[in-house]
Amino acid sequence: MNKKVISKITSGVLLCTMLAYTTPVLAFTKDETVYSKIDSNGNNYNTIVNDHIINDEQEQLINDISDLLNIKNVNGDEEFSQDGNNLAWHAEESDIYYQGESQKELPIECNVKYELDGNEITASELVGKSGKVKITIEYINKDAHTVNINGKDQTLYTPFVVVCGTIIDNNNNRNIEITNGKTVDDGSKTTVIGISLPGLQESLNISKDKIDIPNTIEITMDSTDFELNNIVTYVTPKVLEENDMELFKKLDKIYNQVDTLQSSSKQIEEGANSLKEGTATYSEKSQEFNNAVEQVSKGVSSVNQNYSKIDAGISSLNDSSATLESGAKSVSEGTLAVSENLQTISSKLTELQTGTQSLKQGEVQLEAGLDQIITSVSTIQGTDNSAKITELNQLITANQNTINSLKSANETLTTQLKAIKDEETKQTITTQIETNKSIIKLLETNIVAYNETISTLKSADMSNIKELQTALSNLKQGLQSLQTGTDTLYNGTTALRTGTGALASKTKELAQGTQSLYEGTIKISEGSGTLNSGSTQLKQGLNTLDAGGTKLGTASNQLTEGANTLSEGATTLAEGITKFNEEGIDKICDYINGDLKDISARLEKLQELSEDYNNFTMLNDGNKGNVKFIMIMDSIKKEEDSKQDIILDDKQK
């Protein structure tokens, strides 16, 4: 309850107690107090009005109007004349106090209901009863007006403040309570005071769900042998005063700022929605970035793992490059030696070819000599064979020399065969070696035959001449075969010498190439060392990158989680601001521009109605007036008649 209203209530109670009301002194102001007696059910049965004309200008004659009956001066000897409702008071510079009866309907109607232990009961039935007593007093505003509010006709009631109170004996009553009011217990008795604002709920057009403005007062107590004193009700239309209207001037400023508030709130909402969309996009892109970072991290890890194999290969290559360099050096040196040996072979083959040529010439000579031997064998008997033996020994020596030359040549060819890579050349040399072996074998056979012939000649056994002739014939055939072999050896030696010369030339080129290869392997070795060093650094970098990728992945996950949280927060913020606008700002603005502005307009009209309601009887235009009502409800007693006439004397004023 508003402190100002409570202040008014307190003042009203005091005024009710004093039966007087003081206002600022204005010229020709009529201060009116309406006293009404009502029965225990709230029905009015007697109304007395006291009027006080304040003669601030100290006039001699005061013109007044009134519809009261049985008017009389209650405080002084001033006389008056009456013409219908017109009164002329001979004031003689004094204030006028007069009283009269009224049959007009009061602006406030009162209904009273009694309950005992939850059951409705009449006042007369309740007297002397014990139990839980509940008294409900309903005040009904009868002073309705049609006024225009924001372009629409509305029904408003003059804003009366109703204060009621009574004194309850504590001897037979306890647990005394009152709604919309206050209880004051001094030990022997309890004073209860309640307040009601009948018609204000309807005038302000406010739902009871929002604000319940009371128009009833309930008094409850636990009673034994129930009785009740008079309930006094004080009514005044002065719920609002002039200084209260300063509020409406402030409200006008608020109305002008409401649109700015609503517009700014909408901008905040739009900004929140933009933030929501932006954070959603950020969250989405952050997730994409996180996925990419994860792929990069996995890729770097895979590269790091696979490069370990490459690094191991490069390290192995670096280790092998030294072996390669050494091997290339050996190949170069070996190729150079092969080239030099091939040149030696070529030279030896030239010698072999010369020897073979000499052998061929000796074989021709040998064949000629053998023919002579065969011819003269028949005449050998008794002759000296020493000359023949000498010739045979010479042939043996020549054949042995040739055998030695061929064996030497085969040894050389066999040695070189191991160093030669060309298959065609190897095949040629192998064939030549086999040919030489055949010739050697044939020559060795010839030597055996020559030795047998020498032995025969030395024994001079003529009986063996025939056998000698056969052997010589065979020897001739062998010599012819030897000549054929010698021709083959010569031709082969010639071809071998030619091939060996060409091979020596190519081998020399090969030696130059292997030297270049060797020099290249040196560079390869140096490069592989640099590569190995760089690979080690690259491996360390990949390890660092892999570790950084893992940290980046973790940070990216945290960033994504943060982005999601930010997006969710922005969504919650946007939804909250939208809800705040819809359920808060919009409703506040709607309330201010609608309900509050409507209430403000109604309050202004109520203030006007309050100012206009300045009398109950009649008042001349231009004069000021104040009016208040005091309603006294009959007490509820066992034997006494609670209905009492209202007797007002000068002291009661």
Query: How high is the pLDDT of residue 38?
Result: 97
Average pLDDT (538-564) is 75
- Evaluate if residue 401 carries a pLDDT over 80: yes
Mean per-residue pLDDT, 416-425? 81
Average pLDDT over residues 290-307: 72
What is the pLDDT at residue 649?
Answer: 44
Residue 96 or 549, more confident: 96
Residue 75: how many CB atoms within 10 A of its CB?
17
Helices (H) and strands (E) in the chain, counts: 9, 19
- Lowest-pLDDT range of 61-65, 125-129, 459-463: 459-463
pLDDT score recorded for residue 332:
66
Q: Could you tell me the CA-to-CA distances from 586 to 57, 254, 264, 582 in Å, in that order?
A: 56, 15, 12, 5
Chain mean pLDDT for the chain: 79
Helix axes 386-419 and 246-376, enclosed angle (nearest 10): 180
Which pLDDT belongs to residue 259?
64
Q: Which residue has the higher pLDDT, 423 or 11?
A: 423
- ∠ CA 463-464-467 to the nearest 5 degrees? 140
- Backbone φ/ψ region at 23: left (φ over 0), alpha (ψ -120 to 50), beta: beta
pLDDT for residue 463 is more than 80: no
Q: Residue 469 — very low, low, confident or very high, per pLDDT cuts 50/70/90?
A: low
pLDDT of residue 26: 39
Say what the pLDDT of residue 346 is: 66
At 16, is the pLDDT very low, low, confident or very high (cuts 50, 70, 90)?
very low
pLDDT value at residue 5: 45
Q: What is the pLDDT of residues 317-345, one digit of tens each?
A: 667 666 766 766 666 666 666 666 666 66
pLDDT at 502 over 70: no
What pLDDT was estimated at residue 24? 39
- How is the chain split into domains, by residue range? 3-237+613-633, 329-546
Q: What is the pLDDT of residue 364?
A: 74
Residue 653 pLDDT: 42
Share of the chain above pLDDT 70, in %: 70
Q: How many of the other CB atoms lie within 10 Å of CB of 568?
A: 14
pLDDT for res 490: 72
Residue 7 has pLDDT above 60, yes or no: no
Average pLDDT over residues 484-504: 71
- The answer to whether residue 130 scores a pLDDT higher than 90 is yes
622 pLDDT higher than 90: no
pLDDT at 633 over 80: yes
Q: Which of 115-119, 320-324, 625-629 has the lowest mean pLDDT?
A: 320-324
Task: Report CA-CA distances (Å) from 344 to 17, 406, 423.
Answer: 159, 15, 20
Q: Quick one: pLDDT band at residue 642, thresholds 50, 70, 90?
A: very low
Distance separating alpha carbons of residues 315 and 319, to the nearest angstrom: 6
Which one has a higher pLDDT value, 571 or 185? 185
* Burial of residue 1 (number of CB atoms within 10 Å: 0-12, 13-18, 19+): exposed
> DSSP secondary-structure letter at 380?
-
Split at pLDDT 50, 70, 90, the class of 376 is low
Sequence-ordered alpha helix ranges (H) in 96-244: 123-126, 200-204
User: Could you tell me the pLDDT band of residue 286, with boundaries at 50, 70 and 90?
Assistant: confident
pLDDT confidence tier of residue 222, bands split at 50, 70 and 90:
very high
Weakest-pLDDT range from 103-107, 109-113, 333-337? 333-337
Band (23; pLDDT cuts 50, 70, 90): very low
pLDDT tens digits, one per residue of 54-63: 998 899 999 9
pLDDT band at residue 472 using 50, 70 and 90 as cut-offs: low
What's the predicted TM-score (pTM) here? 0.48
Among 165-179, 221-235, 306-320, where is mean pLDDT lowest?
A: 306-320
pLDDT at 350 over 50: yes
Band of the pLDDT at 636, cuts 50, 70, 90?
very high
Query: Above pLDDT 90, what percent of the chain?
Result: 33
Q: Please check the confidence at residue 34 and state whether its pLDDT lies above 90.
A: yes
Distance CA(581)–CA(578), nearest Å, equals 5
Please give the backbone phi and psi of residue 622, each rounded to the nearest 5 degrees, phi first.
95, -15
Rounded (10°) angle between helices 597-612 and 246-376 = 170
Provide the pLDDT for residue 276: 74
